[in-house]
Amino acid sequence: MFNIGVETDKGISSEVVEAFREAGCCLELMRNDKVELYDGIVFEENAEKAINFSCLRFLQLRNDTDAFIWVLLKEPSETTSQLYLELGADGVFNQSQWLTTVLHIRNTLYRNQTVGKNKVENTNLHSNAIENHELDPFSRKIISLREQLAVELTKTEFKLVHKLMENNASVCSYEELAEHLWEEVSETSLLNLANLIFRIRSKLKEEGIEEITIKTIRSTGYQLLSK
């Protein structure tokens, strides 16, 4: 199930939520503290505010996450659609055409997932390595050299795994990791850290990579291990 956040000033109808659920997506109103945890974001332009306001908000999201971002416009014009695409949108749709949007998002996410499962053909990369695994900074993937599989990471997930890998199988404390990722140690950042670890573990399991694990050291932190 893919997690989709919706940036909107309105609510989300039950029909839309159900349509996404049937497409394999869990839809919710976007939370700023979960931006890095979404597989994609649906950005609904606020027609009551100036275009500059919406574009600035879009750019903020684009800078905060490498997840897919799809834009919904009330009255899309070629000029406005082109503007959002140039800013980095992964698709622009009419707000009244939810079904088309759902199908496009479903196809994009599943195709991206399939690509991530493909065997790696070229492992001669500039990367960080730990016992038969590489971390490729260009594609932001963990690559299993032995199993010839790869997992694509978000920007924050990559930064977390990179920090753990740099520690050479030593334990990184919760506080050290939170400070490294968000430059603060708080209840929120520690919760986000736990969520990130869960997501990374889930991705490794889904892609069939069994030789790398992130171990929880109770009351201390996390440790990256390779079998």
Residues 100 and 130 in one domain: no
Higher pLDDT, 127 or 130: 130
Residues 145 and 213 in one domain: yes
Q: How confident is the model at residue 223 (pLDDT cuts 50, 70, 90)?
A: very high
Number of domains in the chain: 2
Residues 125 and 111 in one domain: no
Residues 85 and 13 in one domain: yes
Most confident segment among 18-27, 131-140, 173-182: 173-182
Distances (CA, A) of 103 to 21, 83, 98, 107, 155: 12, 23, 9, 6, 26
Whether the model clears a pTM of 0.75, i.e. scores above it, the answer is no
Of 130, 117, 125, the C-alpha closest to 168 is: 130
Q: How confident is the model at residue 119 (pLDDT cuts 50, 70, 90)?
A: very low
pLDDT for residue 227 is more than 60: yes
CATH number assigned to the domain comprising residue 17: 3.40.50.2300
Q: What pLDDT does 213 receive?
A: 86
Of 79, 71, 76, 80, the C-alpha closest to 101 is: 71
pLDDT more than 70, % of the chain: 89
Distances (CA, A) of 114 to 117, 143, 221: 5, 15, 32
CA angle 199, 204, 208 (to 5 degrees): 145
Question: In one letter, which amino acid is 131?
Answer: E
Percent helix, strand and coil across the chain, each to the nearest 5: 45, 25, 35
* Average of per-residue pLDDT values in the chain: 82
Q: How confident is the model at residue 48 (pLDDT cuts 50, 70, 90)?
A: low
* Partners of 2 in beta bridges: 25
Residues 62 and 92 in one domain: yes
Whether the Cβ atoms of residue 89 and residue 108 lie closer than 8 Å to each other: no
Q: What pLDDT does 115 receive?
A: 55
CATH number assigned to the domain comprising residue 186: 1.10.10.10
| Three-state secondary structure call for residue 125 | coil
Residues 150 and 186 in one domain: yes
Kindly write down the DSSP assignment for every residue of 38-103, as one continuous string.
-SEEEEE--TTS-HHHHHHHHHHHHHH--SEEEEEESS--HHHHHHHHHHT-S-EEETT-HHHHHH
Residues 131 and 65 in one domain: no
Residues 134 and 189 in one domain: yes
Q: Looking at 74-220, which runs of residues are DSSP E strands? A: 92-94, 128-129, 133-136, 141-144, 149-152, 172-173, 212-217
Q: 86 is in which domain, residue-wise? A: 2-116
Each residue's pLDDT tens digit, 173-202: 999 999 999 888 998 889 889 999 999 999
Choice among 7-21, 86-100, 113-127, 140-154 with the minimum mean pLDDT: 113-127
Residues 80 and 104 in one domain: yes
Question: In one letter, which amino acid is 113?
Answer: Q
Tokens of 108: 């994009």
C-alpha 34/C-alpha 7 separation (Å) is 12
Q: How confident is the model at residue 117 (pLDDT cuts 50, 70, 90)?
A: very low
Tokens of 2: 């893919």
Residues 222 and 179 in one domain: yes
Residues 86 and 110 in one domain: yes
Residues 100 and 141 in one domain: no
* Average pLDDT of span 55-64: 85
| Three-state secondary structure call for residue 10 | coil
